[in-house]
Amino acid sequence: MDFKGFDHPGRPAAGGTRSVKVMIAGGFGTGKTTMVRSVSDIKPLTTEETLTQASADVDHLIGVADKTQTTVSLDFGKISLNESLMLYLFGTPGQERFWFLWNGLFKGALGAIVLVDTRRLASSFRAIEEMERLDVPFVIALNVFPDSVNHPIDEIRDALDLSPHTPIVACDARDRASSRDVLVALIHHLKERSDVALETR
């Protein structure tokens, strides 16, 4: 470790390293933590936030510090894209109703991956609705489990009520290359949206 930041007081420190973030959303057990783990360069970590809410809503499953405090944890990992750009991946808390309590959780994200277990489509409905409401661009990643049935993509698109523009890709969240390909699909989607935005100016 060097001290480049300390040699020149008053100058921008430690090169120009910057970050980008991508959120991984989806219902409980759809593979969010697994995907963060498989694609991260570092051992995945967990960070916590203490959220305050009306005690009537407190969920007994998620650890309650006191009547109005709820601890929500976020799994995350990071990928060094190059010497000066880091990609941080955050697996969102399973309980979507806490997302809006965490101010700015999705703000500044490039976009999101919404994981879907095709055996339980409905478990990701809420995540999709929230992405649409927050105007976060997203791709759908169908996480393939051993007993998943191969449904035609159009059927899944209908069942999830997705726009024709939302990409749907299949993946194995346990596999690094497969998870990387989902990230690539997301960035391609963002570029396409950009092209459209430029054309309509």
Q: Which of 25, 30, 34, 44 is nearest to 178 (CA)?
A: 34
Confirm or reject binding of residue 33 to Mg ion (CB under 5 A).
Answer: yes
Full DSSP string of 129-189: HHHHHHT--EEEEEEPPTT-----HHHHHHHHT--TTS-EEEE-TT-HHHHHHHHHHHHHH
Confirm or reject binding of residue 199 to other proteins (CB under 8 A).
Answer: no
N-terminal to C-terminal alpha carbon distance within the chain: 47
**CB-wise, 74 or 159, nearer to Mg ion?**
74
69: burial class by Cβ within 10 Å (0-12, 13-18, 19+)?
A: middle
- From Mg ion, ligand GDP, other proteins, none, which one binds at residue 190 (CB under 5 to 8 Å depending on kind)? other proteins
Confirm or reject binding of residue 24 to other proteins (CB under 8 A).
Answer: no
**CB-wise, 88 or 145, nearer to ligand GDP?**
145
Confirm or reject binding of residue 174 to ligand GDP (CB under 6 A).
Answer: yes
Confirm or reject binding of residue 28 to ligand GDP (CB under 6 A).
Answer: yes
Give the binding-site size for ligand GDP (rule: CB under 6 A). Answer: 17
Q: Shortest approach of other proteins to residue 88 CB, angstroms?
A: 4
Q: Which of 60, 128, 41 is nearest to 92 (CA)?
A: 128
10 vs 45: CA distance, rounded Å? 32
138 vs 141: CA distance, rounded Å? 10
- From ligand GDP, other proteins, Mg ion, none, which one binds at residue 54 (CB under 5 to 8 Å depending on kind)? none
Confirm or reject binding of residue 55 to other proteins (CB under 8 A).
Answer: no
Confirm or reject binding of residue 32 to other proteins (CB under 8 A).
Answer: no
- From other proteins, ligand GDP, Mg ion, none, which one binds at residue 55 (CB under 5 to 8 Å depending on kind)? none
116 vs 160: CA distance, rounded Å? 10
**CB-wise, 16 or 146, nearer to ligand GDP?**
146
Q: Where do contacts with Mg ion occur on this chain (CB under 5 A)?
A: 32-33
